[in-house]
Amino acid sequence: MQSVEPWSEVRKMDVLGNYKSVISARSTDRDILKKAQDGGIITTLFAYALEEGIIDGAIVAGPGDEPWKPEPMVVTTKAELLAAAGTRYTISPNLSLIKEATRSYGLDRVGIVGTPCQIQAVRKAQVYPIGMRDVDDKIALALGIFCMENLSYQALEAMVEDHCNQKMESVTKMDIGKGKFTVYTERGAVAQMPLKLIHKYVQPGCNVCLDYVANLADISSGSVGSPDGWSTVFVRSTKGNTVWDGAIKAGFFETKPMDQVKPGLDLVKKLATDKITKNQKNVDARKTIGLKADGTPKGLRNPYESP
């Protein structure tokens, strides 16, 4: 039995999680950049991993049967990857395909992209594979995306159609940044709404989430911290490090040191701290939400304490 690292040093992660390096980056692939939300990091990393045989396929948020409704799908080619590029601001239950990918598709090396909570689910599926047969050693690359909160499809529809007065099917891009939700059509950026108005639409499960930058991913990425068209990239695990180094050497990305870009890492840290502080308060408030007969507080279930 090889020695386990000292358990007394239980890793207390800071708000940005453990990472080996952080850098600002952009894909060098023009086809990807045309379709990408920001720097095209996730699409390009999967394209590189497919090409190198690091993964046989990836679970991504592909196009669904309604406009801007993502459908989880298993992709095995760059063309399929491209069809799934870009952000859709609603839930894509990517974990629902994890056994489909490993068993029905028979993939031995699976890539998966997810929000921080979805990456938590991936790691739980690996460490406690209760109903996840033959999954644990087949997750070859778990890519995380920064996430403040998520919305149901119906909420996104309300924002686009009611608040912004645009038809879902005529929208060409949606973007969140600089405190605003912006809707683009073929005529350009046609409507905006302040982010504070969308709080009532956020799904409740997001209010107890204590992770902003996908702390448990192999590599995580998001626009925050980097200039327009670029993304901030955290390289976290040993596996992530190998993949990132390989992709850089192969010329898949151009990069800038994080301390030389605006607005920089401080903004990522600020938003992560804001989210986690707010949601930790929510988690704590749940403990005393109700009232027992003896006058002491009655709490709701806390997933961070017990099932």
Number of residues in the chain: 307
Q: Which phi and psi angles does 183 have, rounded to 5°?
A: -110, 130
Closest to other proteins by CB, 42 vs 206, is: 206
Residues near 37 by Cβ (< 8 Å), separated by ≥ 6? Answer: 85, 86, 87, 175, 223
User: Residue 131 Cβ, how far from other proteins at the closest point, in Å?
Assistant: 3
Closest to other proteins by CB, 205 vs 257, is: 205
Nearest Cα neighbor of 49 from 223, 258, 250 is 250
DSSP 8-state code for residue 59: E
* Measured distance CA(68)–CA(221) in Å, rounded: 21
User: Residue 198 Cβ, how far from other proteins at the closest point, in Å?
Assistant: 16
DSSP string, 198-241: GGGGB-GGGGG---SS-TTSSEEEESTTS-TT-EEEEE-SHHHH
User: Residue 150 Cβ, how far from other proteins at the closest point, in Å?
Assistant: 7
User: Residue 279 Cβ, how far from other proteins at the closest point, in Å?
Assistant: 12
Residues near 115 by Cβ (< 8 Å), separated by ≥ 6? Answer: 144, 145, 147, 150, 214
Site of interaction with other proteins (CB under 8 A): 1-2, 4-8, 10-13, 18, 72, 90-100, 114-115, 117-118, 120-121, 123-137, 150, 152-154, 203-210, 215-216, 237-238, 300-301, 303-307
User: Residue 291 Cβ, how far from other proteins at the closest point, in Å?
Assistant: 18
Closest to other proteins by CB, 35 vs 123, is: 123
Closest to other proteins by CB, 40 vs 86, is: 86
Closest to other proteins by CB, 132 vs 233, is: 132
